[in-house]
Chain A
Amino acid sequence: MIEPSAYCIALLLALSALGVCTARIRHAHYVIYAACALVCIALAWIGVVSLDAPVTVMKLPLGLPWIGVNFRLDSLAAAFIALIGLGGASASVYAMGYGRHEHEPGRVVPFVPAFLAGMALVVIANDAFAFLFAWELMSLSSWALVMAHHREKGNAHAAYVYLIMAVFSGLTLLLAFGLLAGPSGGFTFAAIRASHLPAMTIAIVFVLALIGTGSKAGLVPLHVWLPLAHPAAPSHVSALMSGVMTKVAIYGFIRIVFDLLGTPTWWSAVVVLVVGGVTSVMGVLYALMEHDLKRLLAYHTVENIGIIFIGLGLAMAFWANGLPAAAALALTAALFHVFNHSVFKSLLFFGSGAVLTATGERDMEHLGGLIHRMPKTAFAFLVGCVAISALPPLNGFVSEWLTFQAIVLHPDLPQWGLKISIPADGALLALSAALAAACFVKAFGVCFLGRPRTAQAADAREVDVFSLASMFTLAAICLLAGVLPGAVIDALAPVTQAIVGAHMPTQMDQAWLSIVPIAEAHSSYDGLLIFLFIAASAWIMAAAVHRFASRRLRRGPAWDCGFPDPSPATQYTAGSFAQPIRRVFGAVVFGTSETVTMPAPGDMAPARIEKHIHDPAWETFYAPVGAAVGATADWMNVLQFLTIRRYLAFVFVALILLLLVLALWQ
């Protein structure tokens, strides 16, 4: 099935070119996005059917002359192709409605198909050259999309930071592949798999791959570009970047570390577990401090990437200890969460885009009461909130449940690093799940519930039918994957079989469609029954109360302990809602402080409360590096104003130095 997927990618590139040509034609974006959605549906279908199909390869006479450009569609690639297809199709349908409000469609429409093509190419690439080329195509096209609204304040800065991080990521991956290929230049993945690398090289490649793919995925402290770039891009692009591109980065990690490097060492599992745990909790804490809806969602992507890496770290730990069945469970949990996050994060970004369209606001402090004005969007957004908060019966719970099952599976691993880091990750995962629920109560409660805080929020209008269709499809997938998780687990079985050589037991033939990861006496969960029980008991109770007791209802002013205040400013805001948590967790992590300025009695000035939050990642890592680069540039500036003799002297000295190095090397 490699040829059809290559055709689909070629079609996407052609659509990109068509987008450039038709940039000035009104309503052309409908055609481009509709075609894009169709191609993506085809891609998703190809991915799903080739999950369990034999591996197919393809070679094009492009690229490096002695290896060409190699493509390969195995089950891992197929899973991610399906994911890209699903995310791309929903984003394209959404964009048919959302894109109407674009002032300069020529800055957005051509790059979306190119972005999708870049991501799909990364996934099917079968040599280092094709992989890196596709990786950079993905980075650059998404950079162009981040720059789409370049005149808005802060967007150029966001794109700049994103570009630097993308270049950094590309550089580390380049070095990683250079080490993998060795001096002989065996750049095809088949040659890399066949080669036997020394342990030191494997260790360095692992670290480089973790940094390179982690900076694209958003591991703390490499996450700084996400909360800048996601809000800057148009919402369907934010959904693609957050829901799909970060997953392609995870694909890159799995491909390099699990596939190319082979059986991992236990210490690399410890590294991944620690980074994953820290990322998940830091991401959600950042999100809690945030009151820009899209930045909040971007930080939640960081959190979920951490959860996925916890799953991957567990899989590495079990695999390193020769426990393939346990590794298959952990890897399934991670891949299931990849799928889940892709679905509900796209849904939530679409929701935030709908809010943006309806009100022109991303700042939650200016929203409120949208459930009355936009009931359909509110419902879909609520489904996304429940799913991402890992609450049953939706899909987010299932993958986190599987991760917990993997955590308690083997307390008897021999290495002390794993004995400590696995239960610690369990605690961090529990903490991040609870904090995520708190954060989404805040997000939904402040934006959609309560009373409108501004005129824009009070006058919001429900969004168009394309956006709603896309959101409701994703919400339905959240529910379906939550009540029928066995189908997803079974679909992922060939992937884990190919990577760690084992798969979870078949789930769909269990009684009552429940999922049983190991054995029924050990643990089982039945989303379908839980969902039916909840629905039935709520309905029976409501019906009984209405039938036999009372169904009278009277509307009146709010009670509010007898002192209702008509001003919507008396409601809790995002900032005040998070204040207790900021006080409990923020003081340690973010060094938050609050200063209250009370005017003297008789002074008519308003009292003020100021909060100060420090970003530890930015202040510890980025600010010093930025300052060092700036200082070095200032210092080197002298070199611009020298005479020709001095430049010649430099050339001479450099030549002598190089010859000396060469002489010492020999």
Chain B
Amino acid sequence: MITDLLVQGVQMTSVLLLAPLLTGLVRKVKARLQRHQGPPLVQPYRDLRRLIGKEVVLAENASWLFRVAPYMIFAVTWVAASLIPTFATGLMFSWSGDLIAIAALLGSARFMQALAGMDIGTSFGGIGSSREVMIASLAEPAMLMIVLTVALIAGSTQLSTVAGFLASPEAGLRVSLALALVAFIIVALAENARIPVDNPATHLELTMVHEAMVLEYSGRHLAMIDLASFLKLLLYVSLIGCLFFPFGIAQSGSALPHYLLALVLWLVKLLVGGVLLGVFETSIAKMRVFRVPNFLGAAFMLGLLGVLLLFVSQGM
């Protein structure tokens, strides 16, 4: 009980504290690959501190929703991230939401964000929200298909159970899981507004999706939204780690050294994930907006294929 609570506390604080570092890492890798010096790894922390300290410049016709949304987006994303067994299963509150709930929580965050984008009534906010929901309308079902694939293999949607099962030798290699992994990477790129779906570094008006939605935000509100998107990136990388590369996750009731080892392994996974993302983003060009549905449609179809395969192969 006490261990579970402790693990939960460590997990919650570690995801919050490490999230900006992961984004800093990806930026650094991208800069180095493009032969820049790049900002230091800790730059996202500095940005956050600077933004939090600044005054908020709010558009004249902003409503309460615009001011509440950043905190809600942050809170929902953090709660979702707290449910993920990053380095250990058996978190104190992992049973309060399963994989479907995590996907839906991220959907809630996006819902708030898209609404906030429309609040001021500018054309950029509208374009961002409209494209974001178009992307989400394909990414979310693809995500749910992946969840169903994993749930069918592990016989559970409970993330701790799933990670425990997939880490055991029982799971083995499966075609459905491979399909799900490809689909999941596509979804993760889209959900985190990465190249080729969206460009986190762009401020070129017509290519923005996420940046267009948050264009009117400033100061502490922007800091909250940025922190939420850092958290989301960390969440997705950790989720890939815990679903598809679950080796080394500490099970409930392990000894302390095992926990420490698992923590180190998680950091290594994050490092590998961050570097791979940086390399991938540098090596590929951004897509036109209307090519994105095909890209995400492929993820949806892969996910559906994985689920169908499992349905067809069982009970034969």
Contacts and interface: CB of A to CB of B under 8 A. Distances in A.
Nearest to B66: A449
Given A408-B148, A520-B158, A571-B121, A537 B61 contact: no
Interface of B is mostly: helix
Nearest to A401: B100
Contacts of A581: 133-134, 137
A194 interface: no
Given A526-B97, A572-B123, A558 B60 contact: yes
Given A441-B129, A522-B156, A565 B123 contact: yes
Given A423-B307, A529-B93, A449 B118 contact: yes
Interface stretch (A73-81, A302-310, A324-332, A386-394): A386-394
B65 A449 contact: yes
Interface stretch (B18-26, B47-55, B233-241): B47-55
A404 B100 contact: yes
B172 interface: no
B124 interface: yes
Given A523-B157, A580-B130, A555 B108 contact: no
Contact of B108 (A392, A405, A525, A578): A392
A440 B122 CA distance: 19
Contacts of A446: 118
A545 interface: yes
Contact of A437 (B98, B111, B219, B290): B111
Contacts of A343: none
Contact of B98 (A372, A525, A570, A583): A525
Interface stretch (B35-43, B139-147, B178-186, B269-277): B139-147
Given A391-B104, A572-B123, A445 B129 contact: yes
A437 B133 contact: yes
Given A521-B156, A524-B158, A577-B130, A558 B75 contact: no
A419 interface: yes
B220 A545 contact: yes
B61 A558 contact: yes
B56 A554 contact: yes
A331 B57 CA distance: 51
B155 interface: yes
A566 to B, nearest CB: 11
A407 interface: yes
Given A437-B107, A524-B95, A541-B75, A411 B152 contact: yes
A431 B299 CA distance: 13
Contacts of A412: 314-315
Contacts of A580: 130-131, 134, 289-290
Contacts of A372: 61, 63
A412 B139 CA distance: 28
B198 interface: no
A427 B95 contact: no
Contacts of B125: 572
B224 A541 contact: yes
B141 A430 contact: yes
Interface string A419-436: 110111011001101110
Interface string B137-174: 11111001100100110011110010000000000000
B119 A554 contact: no
Contact of B61 (A369, A408, A545, A552): A369
A558 B96 contact: no
Contacts of B157: 404-405, 408, 522-523
A43 interface: no
Contact of B63 (A371, A523, A524, A553): A371
Interface in A54-92: none
Contacts of A431: 137, 141
A576 interface: yes
Nearest to B297: A584
A577 B100 CA distance: 27
Nearest to B113: A441
Contacts of A382: 65
16 contacts: A408-B151, A408-B157, A423-B304, A437-B133, A442-B133, A446-B118, A526-B97, A534-B75, A537-B75, A538-B74, A545-B223, A554-B55, A554-B56, A559-B59, A579-B130, A584-B293
Given A411-B314, A437-B137, A522-B155, 18 more contacts: A390-B104, A391-B104, A422-B311, A426-B144, A434-B107, A449-B121, A514-B95, A522-B158, A529-B96, A534-B72, A538-B72, A541-B71, A558-B122, A560-B120, A565-B123, A571-B123, A571-B126, A581-B133
Interface of A: 368-369, 371-372, 375, 382, 386, 389-392, 397, 401, 404-405, 407-408, 411-414, 419-420, 422-424, 426-427, 430-431, 433-435, 437-438, 440-442, 444-446, 449-451, 512, 514, 520-526, 529-530, 533-535, 537-539, 541-542, 545, 549-550, 552-561, 564-565, 568, 570-572, 576-581, 583-584
Give 3 closest A-B pairs by Cβ, nearest first.
A572-B126, A450-B121, A412-B315
